[in-house]
């Protein structure tokens, strides 16, 4: 199992938990809820393109508007989607951090970065990677009875929880909103349980959109996100937003994702 240190969301609106390796093609234990998520993965370009395209690179500029205009987390990151090795460059600062071989690192070693770099290393990837990141051998899928309405359209809801083997935050959950016609995923609401960002217990649910899907080498990925409060099980007011730019796939090995000296 590959520990992601990422799935989820936090004080930052994103959580870090963990994700395991992709499921084997020989998996036979399926159910309609899982099948729907797999259909959504196909609608977004399919597993083969996702895993075979190489390293994914993008800039994720996260505006925590509810915390003030200066509350921005901005990094350019490169991720190997098969190994989950990742390296970030902090925009405007001489700071890099990431995960290599399951070990987190930051340079300079005494650099300050908030949220905790161990948590943030894979968090943006996990959100831009929806729904592909739910092709997870430790995921449990459940289709909810009622649709969720967002911006005038009803979406099918699939809840995803995790087995105890899922890593740092097995109690995380996500609920995907899937378009019943196109099978594209519109967004997800979730909770954060990582002790790194929720030391006093799970944070409140938040809803994250997948806006303006763009075709990146045959894979449909969001070019922006909006984060909303959840109020009494319904999507409430917007609280944050994310600009996603420079999204591209690089040949495997283009960027050195090892731990620097």
Does an H or E element contain 39, and which? helix 32-43
Q: Let me know if residue 83 belongs to a domain.
A: yes
Q: How confident is the model at residue 11 (pLDDT cuts 50, 70, 90)?
A: very low
Look at residue 241 in the predicted model and tell me its pLDDT: 98
Q: Let me know if residue 86 belongs to a domain.
A: yes
pLDDT digits (tens, 9 = 90+) for 185-206: 999 999 876 656 555 666 789 9
Long-range contacts of 41-44 (CB under 8 A, 24+ apart): 41/131, 41/132, 41/134, 41/135, 42/183, 43/182, 43/183, 43/184, 43/220, 44/131, 44/132, 44/184, 44/185, 44/213, 44/219, 44/220, 44/221
Look at residue 12 in the predicted model and tell me its pLDDT: 29
Is residue 21 pLDDT above 60, yes or no?
no
User: Which residue, among 207, 216, 217, 161, has the nearest Cα to 185 in the 3D structure?
Assistant: 207
Domain region containing 161? 32-250
Q: Let me know if residue 150 belongs to a domain.
A: yes
Q: Let me know if residue 137 belongs to a domain.
A: yes
What's the CATH code of the domain at 112?
2.50.20.10
pLDDT digits (tens, 9 = 90+) for 105-156: 999 999 999 989 998 999 999 999 999 999 988 899 999 999 999 999 999 9
Look at residue 163 in the predicted model and tell me its pLDDT: 83
In whole angstroms, what separates CA 121 from the centre of its chain?
11
Structural domain tally of the chain?
Answer: 1
Q: Let me know if residue 128 belongs to a domain.
A: yes
Q: Let me know if residue 100 belongs to a domain.
A: yes
Instruction: Give the single-character DSSP code of 45.
Output: T
pLDDT digits (tens, 9 = 90+) for 26-56: 344 669 999 999 999 999 999 999 999 999 9
Q: Let me know if residue 19 belongs to a domain.
A: no
Task: For tokens 């991720």, name the residue.
Answer: 79
Look at residue 202 in the predicted model and tell me its pLDDT: 67
Q: Is 196 left (phi over 0), alpha (psi -120 to 50) or beta?
A: alpha
Look at residue 168 in the predicted model and tell me its pLDDT: 56
CB-side neighbour CA atoms (13 Å) of 67: 12
Q: Let me know if residue 241 belongs to a domain.
A: yes
């Amino acid at each position: 199992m590959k520990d992601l240190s990422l799935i989820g969301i936090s004080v930052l609106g994103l959580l870090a938990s963990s994700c395991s390796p992709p499921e084997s093609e020989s998996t036979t234990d399926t159910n309609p809820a899982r099948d729907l998520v797999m259909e959504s993965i196909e609608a977004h370009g399919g597993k083969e393109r996702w895993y075979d395209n190489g390293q994914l690179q993008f800039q994720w500029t996260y505006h925590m508007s509810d915390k003030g205009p200066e509350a921005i987390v901005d990094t350019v990151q490169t991720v190997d989607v098969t190994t989950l090795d990742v390296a970030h460059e902090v925009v405007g600062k001489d700071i890099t951090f990431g995960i290599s071989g399951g070990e987190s690192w930051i340079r300079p070693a005494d650099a300050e970065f908030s949220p905790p770099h161990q948590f943030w290393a894979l968090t943006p990837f996990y959100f831009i990677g929806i729904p592909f990141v739910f092709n997870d051998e430790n995921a449990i899928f459940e289709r909810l009875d009622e649709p969720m309405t967002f911006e005038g359209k009803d979406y099918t809801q699939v809840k995803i929880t995790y087995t105890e083997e899922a890593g740092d935050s097995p109690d995380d959950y996500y609920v995907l909103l899937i378009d019943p016609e196109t099978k594209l995923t519109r967004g997800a609401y979730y909770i954060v349980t990582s002790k790194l960002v929720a030391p006093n217990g799970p944070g409140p649910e938040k809803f994250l959109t997948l806006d303006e899907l763009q075709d990146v080498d045959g894979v449909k990925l969001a070019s922006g996100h909006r984060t909303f409060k959840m109020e009494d099980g319904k999507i409430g007011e917007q609280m944050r937003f994310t600009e996603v730019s420079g999204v591209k796939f690089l040949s495997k090995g283009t960027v050195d994702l090892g731990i620097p000296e």
